[in-house]
Amino acid sequence: MKPAIKYGIITGCIIGLFAMTFFSIFDWINTKLGWGMRPSGIRGIAGLLTILILTIGIYIGLRAVKNNRSNSFSYWQAVRAGVIIAVITAAITSICSFLYCTVINPDYTNYMVQAAEREMIEAGEAKTQITAQLVEVRKNFSTPAQVGMAFVGQLVMGLAISFILSALIQKQKEKLIS
C-alpha cells in the first residue's frame, strides 16, 4: 500500500475515533464535575485537537513518502501526497461523523439545540430572537451539516497543512544537502 494512502487511512481513523469519543466523554466529565463548560466550547476544543492530529498524520505520512522515494521528492509531489492523506482523512472523518450523529448519539442535534437555547436565555435574548436563531442552530447541528462540516473542515485544513509541511520538508532536504 502506498504510504500516502496508508497514512490517510490511519489519520482518518484516529481523528474519527477521537472525534466520536472526545465530545461525549469530555461533556460527561464536565457535567459530572460541574465545570460549567458549554457544549459548543467542548466542540471547539475537539476541533482544534483534530487539527493537531491531522498535522501530525500528514507530517508522518510525508516523511514516509519521502523515505519511500529514497529521501527525494519535489515540493509538488509532497503536496500531492499530503492532499491524498487529507482527502482520505476527510472521507473517513465524515463517515465517523455520520455514525456518531445517527448511531452513537442520535439525540446530538437536540442536545446542542437545547444547550444553545439555554445559553441564549442566560444571555437575556428576546424569545422571538431565540426562536429565530434556534432554526439556524438546528440546521448547523443536523446530521447532514455535521457530515459536511467534518469533510470540508478536514479537507481545507489538510490542504493548508499539506502546502506548509511540504515546504518545510523541502527545507529539511536543503539543510541536509548544505
**Residue 18 CB partners (closer than 8 Å, separation 6+):** 46, 49, 50, 53
H-state helical runs in the chain = 3-33, 39-68, 75-99, 108-122, 127-140, 143-177
Half-sphere exposure of residue 27, counting CA atoms within 13 Å on the CB side? 19
This prediction has a pTM of 0.89
DSSP label of 2: -
Element (H, E) at 124: none
Spans of all domains in the chain: 3-104+144-177
Tell me the CA distances in angstroms from 66 to 82, 83, 172, one per residue in order: 11, 15, 11
Q: Walk along the chain (178 residues) and give the pLDDT tens digit of each residue.
A: 899 999 999 999 999 999 999 999 999 999 999 999 999 899 999 999 999 999 999 999 999 999 998 877 899 999 999 999 999 999 999 999 999 999 999 999 999 999 999 999 999 999 999 999 999 999 999 999 999 999 999 999 999 999 999 999 877 655 555 4
Cα–Cα distance measured from residue 46 to residue 143, given in angstroms and rounded to the nearest whole number: 17
In one-letter notation, the amino acid at residue 162 is S
Q: Tell me the backbone φ, ψ of residue 138, rounded to 5 degrees.
A: -60, -40
